[in-house]
Structure 1
Amino acid sequence: MTSFSEVTRIEAAIKNKNSKELEWSLWYCRMRLAVPSALPGDVKYWRGIEVLVKEALAPPVAAKVYPAKKKKPNRGLGLGPVDKEQAPAED
């Protein structure tokens, strides 16, 4: 089964991230949603496509990088090296 040329055009725009084609795709999705006689399944489909187009249009969000803390010596799960002078006397 061949898909409609508009759907193929929208899929290509999302794949290639072509901004002009994505703008057209967004307009087309909104035009399809504005049809008063649209079936509920069609409305759901075109809303989903509209979300995909908006995600492709949005610039990528840069990941936040937090500074790493410097590790202090002898601060792990164990006590670290114990000096014989500080060690408790064993009876």
Structure 2
Amino acid sequence: MTDDSSTPNSGFDSASWLARDQEFVNLCKSALSENKTALFDALANARIDTVEVTFNGYADSGQVDEAVIDGEGADADLRLIDIDIARVGWEA
């Protein structure tokens, strides 16, 4: 006779995974807020009022085609503006 009432132990703790996932989501939200502040502060310090970005947006491989800036610092090279970006990694 076979006992079908037992559940095999997969070793996966879903409650722990969900808690870690929620912590990761919260860290991402915090990093996004920090990155927005860092970006807008850097643009303001460079006296840039407006940035218009054009991208091709094809599927997941879209890329920035052009960035037009305006303001007193409109002659700035955006590639030379140093911004510390907060990064979040998923801890396994």
- Normalising TM by the smaller chain, what interval? under 0.3
Whichever structure has more helix as a proportion of its residues is 1
Normalising by the residue count of structure 1, what TM-score does the alignment of the two structures yield?
Answer: 0.25
* TM-score normalised to structure 2 length: 0.24
- Of the two, which has the highest radius of gyration? 1
RCO higher in 1 or 2 (8 Å CA, sep ≥ 6)? 2
